[in-house]
Amino acid sequence: MFEIKVPATSANMGPGLDTLGVAFKLYNRFIVEEIESGLEIFGCNKEFANNNNLVYDSMLKTFKKLQKDPKGVRLTFKTEIPVSGGLGSSATCILAGVTAANRLCGDILTKQEVLNYACEIEGHPDNITPAMIGGMTVSIMNEGANHYNKIPINGSIKFCALIPKLQLSTKSSRAVLPETIPFKDAVYNVGMVSMLIVSLVNGDYEGVKLACKDKLHQPYRMGLIRNYSQISSFVKESEALGVFLSGAGPTIMVMLKKDDSNTEGKLKEFLKGLSGSWETLNLEIDEDGLNIENI
């Protein structure tokens, strides 16, 4: 029996669609135990406690890849990350499933191979990579292999997640994205991604604030989230370092200086005046990523 702990993540980070992501000290934990036969799932909603569970489905795909016949499995979930909230809940399930099956098969896959296969299942690496590696990462897929680098953020920075009581599936959020984009929009985003990474490394916080803009996904997704425009405008006029849609949404992520003790309070007051219900959650960067230990 062993426990897999996987951190929450925020992907895209403004202009970095499907490439940039950061891990946080907010976790989903999965206790895995091999039993004689069958499937037992505890600690999650009844609708997910079956063969269609994303952790178990990822395990089955991994068993098939490794050409192994699984015995029974007992899964116990201890989750902190909102489902379909834009904080990488699905990525934790996929990564935990691949990792669990690999461990039950004797750790046949290397860490890099686990990362590659989890990205193959997920379809993009921006959540999977920081969840596995920790920290802020830039990652790309090339011929089935994940290539990544950590981005060493210069100076003190903290994140504040603005979470509405709304679930938004990645599939629904991707459906609004266009099939093609103008050339000038592609060039715009190349510049913004480059500026964001360099500004974070160099501690140029004015550059960070500027470079959270993009033209690839946020303009198309903002209409799915009530009050997004008002919140974004308010944050941009505050002392915050930047604001961006977390993953596919609906969570909105705000970057702040660690010594900024005023902006979060102003945000909370502003959110109270909006329709719907919003929660603010302070998040610190997790530098370690996935952890697995016997229990």
**Residue 83 counted as an annotated binding residue:** yes
Question: What is the β-pairing status of strands 72-79 and 39-42?
Answer: parallel
The answer to whether 139 is a known ligand-binding residue is: no
190 is in an annotated binding site: no
Q: Is 144 annotated as a binding residue?
A: no
Q: What percentage of the chain's residues is helix, strand, coil (to nearest 5)? A: 35, 25, 35
Strand partners, 30: 4, 77
Whether 90 has a binding-site annotation, put simply, is: yes
Q: What is the DSSP string of 144-205?
A: TEEEEEE----S-EEEEEEEES----HHHHHHTS-S---HHHHHHHHHHHHHHHHHHHHT-H
Alpha carbons 114 and 101: distance in angstroms, whole number: 10
Judge whether 189 and 237 are in contact, CB under 8 Å: no
Residue type, 15: P
- Is there a binding annotation on residue 86? yes
Using CA atoms, how far residue 206 sits from 14, 17, 199, 261, in Å, is: 15, 21, 8, 19
89 is in an annotated binding site: yes
100 is known to lie in a ligand binding site: no
Whose CA is closest to 8, among 66, 80, 58, 70?
A: 80
38 is in an annotated binding site: no
Q: Is 277 annotated as a binding residue?
A: no
85 is in an annotated binding site: yes
Cα–Cα distance measured from residue 172 to residue 190, given in angstroms and rounded to the nearest whole number: 25
Residues tagged in the binding site annotation: 82-92
Residues tagged in the binding site annotation for ATP: 82-92
